[in-house]
Amino acid sequence: MNSDHQSRLIIILSSVNIVLVIVLLFLFNKHLSLHPELKMQGKQREMQSTQGIVKDVVYEEVSPDGDDSLILYEVPDNPENQEFIIIKNKASKIEDYIYFLDVYRDGIPKWLGNDFVYFSTRCGTSCEGLDLINVHSKQIYNGVLSYIISDEKRGPYTVFDDWFGHEFSLDGLVDEITSEMVSDKVYLIFKMENEEGVFLETKKFLFTGDALKE
């Protein structure tokens, strides 16, 4: 086999290898897009990799039953501007990493009963996201609060598209969101105010785990 033939063969084999690499990368990216749970697993691994490094506690709240602590950690000098929601079992001291928060976009997480955590997210000038996380399955539910201030007849009001596909209309604007448990019943509570910041009413929803009820 002469040198020219060998050179052509090497070039052909190299080209085939490049094509194979491109095809494999395409198939891998497509597989990730069709299986978003793999991305979540990667995210979870990254969270777990922060264990053992220095973390500062931003916020901590004990669950209503007293079994777990909801902890919001920040990592000093973290270039990603991220904080971490962690559930820590008080008996075993085991920390379970739940979710990343964006320092500049997301609010402080709070308990909703013993199995869920909610927090606000920035979504625009006249709306606010309200996300819910199951601390066991880590499933995320997205809700939106839309503020309508241009209705001269009714006055300002809020439309709440909840986590389960239902819509509620609330008079006034949301000033504060809290929760409480009464006799094992969980409530999501909105403190409403008018345009001048004057208190209007408290709107309470019964949370059943898969629905909100007025």
Q: pLDDT of 44-57, one tens digit each? A: 444 444 555 567 88
Residue 153: predicted pLDDT: 80
Instruction: For residues 16 and 68, state if they share a domain.
Output: no
Residue 2: predicted pLDDT: 54
Q: pLDDT of 101-129, one tens digit each? A: 887 788 999 999 999 999 999 887 889 99
Instruction: For residues 23 and 119, state if they share a domain.
Output: no
Instruction: For residues 23 and 121, state if they share a domain.
Output: no
Instruction: For residues 48 and 138, state if they share a domain.
Output: yes
Residue 64: predicted pLDDT: 96
Residue 14 pLDDT > 60, yes or no? no
pTM: 0.74
Mean pLDDT of 24-33: 43
Residue 39: predicted pLDDT: 39
Instruction: For residues 64 and 29, state if they share a domain.
Output: no
> Contacts for 205-213 with beta carbons within 8 Å, 24 or more apart?
205/168, 207/112, 207/113, 207/116, 207/179, 209/113, 209/115, 209/116, 210/164, 211/164, 211/166, 212/162, 212/163, 212/164, 212/166, 212/168, 212/188
Residue 154: predicted pLDDT: 82
Mean pLDDT of 37-50: 44
Instruction: For residues 175 and 193, state if they share a domain.
Output: yes
Query: What domain count does the chain have?
Result: 2
Instruction: For residues 127 and 79, state if they share a domain.
Output: yes
Instruction: For residues 30 and 124, state if they share a domain.
Output: no
Structural domain of 14: 3-34
Instruction: For residues 65 and 27, state if they share a domain.
Output: no
Instruction: For residues 73 and 27, state if they share a domain.
Output: no
Instruction: For residues 53 and 103, state if they share a domain.
Output: yes
Q: pLDDT of 132-178, one tens digit each? A: 999 999 999 999 999 998 877 888 999 999 999 999 999 999 999 99
Residue 49: predicted pLDDT: 46
Range in 31-40, 46-55, 66-75 with the lowest mean pLDDT: 31-40
Instruction: For residues 67 and 122, state if they share a domain.
Output: yes
